[in-house]
Amino acid sequence: MKKVSRNEILKRISDAGVVGAGGAGFPTHVKYDAKVEVVLANGAECEPLIRVDRLTMQNHPGEIVLGMQYAMKATGAKRGVIGLKAKYKDAAAALEEQLKLQKVSDSISLFRLDDFFPAGDEFVLVSEVLGRTIPEYGLPKDVGVVVSNVSTLVDVCRAVEERQPVTTRKVTVAGEVKNPASFEVPVGTPFELLIRAAGDPIIANPRLIVGGPMMGTLSPDFSGVVTKTTTSLLVLPESNPVITRRITDKKRQLHLTRSACLKCMQCSELCPRNALGHNLYPDRIMRSIAAGVTNDLQAYTGAYLCSECGLCATFSCVMNLDPCAINIELKKLLWDAGIKRPTVPRETQPRVFGDLRHVPAKRLIARLGLIPYDGPAVLNEFKIPLKSVTIPLAQHIGAPSLPCVGAGDSVTEGQIIGSIPEGKLGANVHSSVTGRVMEVSANAVTIELI
């Protein structure tokens, strides 16, 4: 571990463009600019089928442990915990060995989680590992914790130790492809090339989910590119429940609610946020909207508490209703109507949180029709030649980066091409290849490899 000050750690993380690799993309130098008691590493790999974090823990345990130490120094934390699923035995063994080699077993430990969804949700993770309940509308730091994805910690280690910026990303490609696998590729790599590397789709009219089957987004085609937060590409037939849920008309959901809701409250009973005592009742929201109730503002603002995990839609409701989709739409409507998300945290007490509210991952995978795709997706070498990459300037929460190169410029791998706007929340963006800038827009920089 290098002898660097707290401020220098934060500066190097900022310079390297490190963001939350678990999917949220919050700038890490801002997250670490806090005083907490515990740094909690998230290695629970929340979504089914994704293998990125597990492979990272197996292959880069030393960098994770070292990155954890830098995170602890930056935040003043005296304790570090790496939360991972108990079934990740190879990863746990590799991490335990590193804790001994780096002589930090007294300050950093492992916590083995059961195999349930959503174990990787940071609110759930903090509750499971530390027994602390993050307040309603609050953040982990409100209970003395900073949560960082294990892949983020690798990026932190490289940023502080080697001043290496984030230019690559591990991505799992699974589903209806010939050879499901995970690959480490340059940021900006086209999705279609990753899918080709996995053997191409083996079905007609495939659909693509970017991210996991629960919280990922349905892409209109295969034309996207890898960002710092891309975790997986899931190729599925249109008849799969993961796809049909996303193409169902939201207005039809409201019509179905009026006639089909059984008022069983299972969506609320299995809601992870509700279990933590948060004032989120998906059944109440659905019924109020369907009935045209306009004065139930307390219920409606509860939609802001929804983590969009999708359990209410995919596992809880026997009538195939989708409260999660309604919550997503309701958030937009509330915001547009000037009803902002509350900002004052409210302390809550967990209602019942234990095995009764843990949804086993295997049962969820079966419910989603994903059993045929639940394979290892081992890390393979990416051998498809790259002609160009398109690097988005907004790969993070906050303001898009400002381009600092122009068309025709020559760039090298790791060179900064987008900088944080002055006084704004953001992250630097770097070239993932050596080449020539073909095009610069407000949204992205396209680079042709030389």
Query: What's the CA gap between 131 and 68, in Å, rounded?
Result: 21
List pLDDT tens digits, range 106-130. Answer: 999 999 999 999 999 999 999 999 9
Which CATH number does the domain housing residue 149 bear?
Answer: 3.40.50.11540
In a domain, 38, yes or no: yes
Q: Does residue 23 sit in the same domain as residue 151?
A: yes
The domain tally of the chain equals: 4
Coil, strand or helix at 402:
strand
- Average pLDDT (96-105) is 97
Which of 151, 93, 145 is closest to 124 using CA atoms?
145
Please say which residue of 162, 194, 209 terminates a domain. 162
Is the pLDDT at 193 greater than 80? The verdict is yes
pLDDT at residue number 253: 77
Residue 352 and residue 320 share a domain: yes
Regarding whether 415 and 329 lie in a shared domain, the answer is no
The answer to whether residue 66 is domain-embedded is yes
For the residues 269-293, what does the mean pLDDT come to?
Answer: 89
The answer to the question of residue 18 being in a domain is: yes
Are residues 41 and 147 part of one domain? yes
pTM for this predicted structure: 0.95
Compute the distance between CA of residue 43 and CA of residue 53 in angstroms, rounded to an integer.
6
Distance CA 315, CA 367 (A): 7
Which pLDDT value is given to residue 353? 55
What is the model's pLDDT at position 355?
Answer: 59
Residue 331 in any domain: the answer is: yes
User: Does residue 297 carry a pLDDT above 90?
Assistant: no
Report yes or no: 176 and 213 within 8 Å, Cβ to Cβ.
no
Residue 386 token pair? 């790259």
**% the chain with pLDDT above 90:** 86
Residue 449 lies in a domain: yes
What's the CATH code of the domain at 199? 3.10.20.600
Task: Give the CA count within 13 Å in the CB-facing half-sphere of 244.
Answer: 10
- Considering 358, 385, 412, which residue would you say is the last residue of a domain? 385
Beta strand pairing call for 388-392 and 444-449: antiparallel
What is the pLDDT at residue 23? 83
Average pLDDT, integer, range 135-141: 96
pLDDT band at 186 (very low <50, low <70, confident <90, very high): very high
Q: Could you tell me if 211 and 262 lie in one domain?
A: no
Q: Please tell me the predicted confidence (pLDDT) of residue 98.
A: 98
User: 8-22, 127-141, 247-261: lowest mean pLDDT where?
Assistant: 247-261
Residues 225 and 290 in one domain: no
Task: Indicate if the pLDDT at residue 86 is higher than 70.
Answer: yes
Mean pLDDT of 182-186: 98
Q: Within a domain: residue 241?
A: no
For residue 149, name the pLDDT band (cuts at 50, 70, 90): very high
Q: Which domain holds residue 414?
A: 387-450
Q: Please indicate, yes or no, whether residues 308 and 397 belong to a single structural domain of this protein.
A: no
Mean predicted lDDT score pLDDT of the chain = 94
- Same domain? For 279 and 175 the reply is no
381 & 392 share domain: no
| Contacts (Cβ under 8 Å, ≥6 apart) of 294 | none
* Any domain includes 1: no
CATH of the domain at 418: 2.40.50
pLDDT band at 249; cut points 50, 70, 90: confident
Lowest mean pLDDT among 282-286, 292-296, 407-411, 428-432: 292-296
